[in-house]
Structure 1
Amino acid sequence: MRLLKKQFKVFSLLFNLLIIFTISACSSPDIKNYNNTKPDFNVLHFFNGELEAKGVVMDRKGLVTRRFSVIMLGNISKSNALDKEQLTLEEWFTFDDGEQSKRTWIITKNDDGTYQGRANDIIDVASGESLGMALHWDYEMDLTVEGTTYRVVFDDWLYRIDDHNVINRSYIKKWGFKVGEVILSIRKIK
């Protein structure tokens, strides 16, 4: 009986450690950590104009599986329905295997300082919050990999480096677990 109790205690301890590890591995930084950082990241104004980006897609082990470049064109306008500024951001992707795609975002800043965005391949609405130099952005999308489509969540972090540069790190998650990552360097041209 003592052996059984001892085995149960060891099993319980290992199970609890596994739960703690799993929860902490799936968590992401808190936007409040960037409260007093500079330069402030005004998302609508940074992405207004011409931009270019270079990036990589990595699998869950960190192996680069694709490289790509993006040409972006942003335009701020007044939303008649909301009487707010909104950004239309067009993105043209070219991947190292020759694949090309286009995404058009419509991004609005809410009264509470958060952001919402819609795009042709994004499920429902993307939501984000900017504080200091950082933007945290979450959204779901159907991602096609080698002919199979997966519903995934993008846990997107953008960091404004200076007036012309932003670094973007996106964690791609399925069922709360990281299955891939995108790292992108974005440069404002005009």
Structure 2
Amino acid sequence: MRPLKIVAALALIPFLAACAGKPSLEDASLSTRELELEEFFDGRLVAHGQFQDIFGTVRRQFVADIRGDWDGQRLRLVEDFTYEDGSTEQRVWTLKKTGEETWEGTAPGVIGVATGVEKGDRFNWRYTIDLPVPAADGSVETVRVTFDDWMWLLSEDRLFNRAYMKRYGVDVGDVSIFFEKK
């Protein structure tokens, strides 16, 4: 293959990845379960997850201990992450129910306000955040990414989350997380 054809083929990869199907709130529900964030995330949870780049390579894995508190008006989530390399991070979300099925939330690093919609057994959460990312030299860089975050209630105490990440409008990977109530 000629070098020009190789370059053209490689340039198409991000565009083809962007064409991959993504969930929609209009998709048929696969269960009769109803996700109520304030109920599921009230209490203690553990989450296991990983980040994969657009080529499918797992780049990072983590476990998160989560403490949720619903006071009838706001849901506060304290997430303590431990990564495979031993590094740690804490993110504290404050969410407010803005309607029967709508939510808004903030957390340090989130640009503006995150917005979300519940429908049946799923929840879609969208936001832009400045994430700390370890660099090859051991330092930490801040990278601004946009999340299109999808959650599905699997059972009373289990939830699956897949978050699609973009940077500069281009897909960079996704995060898969399995949540379990303690």
TM-score band by shorter chain is 0.7 to 0.9
TM-aligned CA distance change 1:180 to 1:149, over 3 Å: same
Which ranges in structure 1 are unaligned for 5 or more consecutive residues?
Answer: 1-17, 79-84
4+ aligned runs moved over 3 Å, structure 1: 21-24, 34-37
Match in the other structure for 1:32: 26
TM-aligned CA distance change 1:175 to 1:30, over 3 Å: same
Of the structure 1 ranges 32-41 and 99-108, higher mean CA displacement relative to structure 2 is found in 32-41
1:171 aligns with 2:182: no
- Cα distance in structure 2, aligned partners of 1:36 and 1:63: 29
1:106 aligns with 2:94: yes
1:183 aligns with 2:154: no
Deviation of 1:98 after TM superposition, in Å, equals 0.9
- Cα distance in structure 2, aligned partners of 1:23 and 1:56: 19
Q: Out of 52, 55, 58, which is 2:52 matched to?
A: 58
Higher helix proportion (structure 1 or 2): 1
TM (norm. structure 1) is 0.79
1:14-66: CA deviations, max 9, x gaps?
A: xxxx8xx7696176322122457421000111000010011111112110011
AA partner of residue 119 (structure 2): L
RMSD: 2.0
- Cα distance in structure 2, aligned partners of 1:31 and 1:66: 28
Matches for 1:151-170 after TM superposition, within 5 Å: 151-170=144-163
Question: Could you tell me whether the CA contact under 8 Å between 1:34 and 1:131 is conserved in 2?
Answer: no
Kindly tell me the number of residue pairs found equivalent between the two proteins.
Answer: 164
Match in the other structure for 1:44: 38
AA partner of residue 86 (structure 2): G
1:149 aligns with 2:142: yes
AA partner of residue 43 (structure 2): G
TM (norm. structure 2) is 0.83
AA partner of residue 65 (structure 1): R
TM-aligned CA distance change 1:34 to 1:125, over 3 Å: farther
TM-aligned CA distance change 1:109 to 1:94, over 3 Å: same
Match in the other structure for 2:7: none
Which ranges in structure 2 are unaligned for 5 or more consecutive residues?
Answer: 1-11
